[in-house]
């Protein structure tokens, strides 16, 4: 992970030597959507929703939803978003019985406000909050300031970078520990096994380095590929999130999108894993 952080810092320095033609068009949007954005002060927005349900030999339900707003003009580069994920499925209760229980419940929201010095450079303030009932951390929040650079932007492609310091606070997930007597000996159950208890670790705080790489590329007139890498690295915990998506526009307003997300936390409690993966197929509405 240290190598990945180093690679991110190197990539963030590349824009100082990059050269490309500037353009106000968003390569992930259709020409009609870019024209509408120009009329609205650079504002665009979209909402995504996906749902799947199965019945019969197995039961499961899962839904995810996203909404986002973006603005880019001569002075500002702003972003606001809200995402949610909820799933239910059949879970073994430990006694051989199956229960229809919640297996995923997560939401996250964030915003960034960037003020441009020139068509390429901008200063950015960002904040993010996430709550996850089944993740490595019950919740995590970060505020940061930094420098952003638009290395490439034309009608087909866009590549931008952000880097800067931030302050992060997070609550590790609940875990279990062995019970001990006052003399330090373990507490035993009636069957002779060690007795345990569930406990909630203390919340952690630390200064982190935040990095963001955002890339967009229009493959055809109605097909676009987008990838975003977020890094929040500190001495206690390193968090990495990568979102890649392929969208196909059906009309000016509607599109289908396939997305794949990987999230990694280096600091985890026993019983939780460091990496979470999510694949989605959503209907997108642009406004």
Tell me how many domains the chain contains: 1
Spell out, as residue ranges, where the chain has pLDDT lower than 70. Answer: 1-26, 28-39, 92-96, 177-178, 196-197
Beta pairing, strands 254-265 & 275-286: antiparallel
How is residue 60 written in tokens?
């499961």
Q: What is the CATH number of the domain that holds 106?
A: 2.40.160.40
Cα dihedral across residues 84, 41, 216, 6: positive or negative: negative
Contacts of 158 (CB under 8 A, 6+ apart): 26, 27, 28, 150, 152, 214, 215, 216, 217
d(CA 223, CA 48): 16
Tell me if residue 183 falls in helix, strand or coil.
coil
User: What is the separation of C-alpha 118 from the centre of its chain, rounded to a whole number of angstroms?
Assistant: 28
Entry pTM: 0.80
Residue 151 sits in which domain range? 2-286
pLDDT at residue 71, rounded to an integer: 93
pLDDT at residue 16, rounded to an integer: 36
Tens-place pLDDT, residues 106-157: 999 999 999 999 999 999 999 999 999 988 899 999 999 999 999 999 999 9
Longest dimension (CA), the chain: 74
Beta bridge partners of 285: 47, 254
Tens-place pLDDT, residues 79-94: 999 999 999 988 766 6
């Amino acid at each position: 992970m240290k190598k990945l952080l180093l690679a991110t810092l190197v990539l963030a320095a590349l824009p100082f030597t990059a050269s490309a033609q500037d353009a106000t068009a968003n390569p992930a949007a259709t020409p009609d959507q870019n024209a509408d954005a120009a009329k609205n002060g650079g504002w665009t927005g979209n909402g995504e929703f996906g749902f799947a349900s199965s019945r019969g030999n197995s039961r499961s339900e899962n839904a995810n939803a996203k909404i986002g707003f973006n603005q880019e003009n001569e002075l500002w580069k702003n972003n606001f978003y809200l995402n949610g994920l909820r799933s239910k499925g059949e879970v073994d209760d430990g006694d051989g019985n199956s229960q229809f229980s919640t297996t995923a419940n997560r939401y996250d929201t964030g915003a960034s406000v960037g003020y441009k010095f020139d068509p390429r450079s901008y200063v950015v303030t960002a904040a993010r909050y996430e709550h996850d009932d089944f993740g490595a951390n019950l919740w995590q929040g970060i505020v940061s300031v930094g420098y952003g650079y638009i290395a490439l932007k034309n009608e087909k492609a866009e590549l931008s970078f952000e880097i800067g310091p931030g302050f992060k606070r997070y609550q590790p997930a609940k875990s279990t520990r062995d019970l001990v007597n006052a003399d330090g000996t373990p507490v035993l159950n009636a069957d002779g096994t060690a007795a345990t208890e569930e406990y909630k670790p203390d919340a952690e705080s630390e200064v982190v380095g935040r990095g963001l790489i955002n890339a967009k590329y229009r493959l055809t007139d109605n097909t676009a590929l987008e990838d975003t890498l977020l890094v929040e690295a500190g001495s206690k915990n390193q968090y990495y999130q990568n979102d890649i998506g392929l969208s196909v526009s059906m009309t000016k307003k509607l599109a289908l999108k396939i997305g794949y997300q990987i999230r990694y936390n280096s600091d985890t409690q026993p019983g939780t894993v460091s990496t979470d993966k999510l694949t989605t197929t959503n209907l997108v509405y642009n406004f």
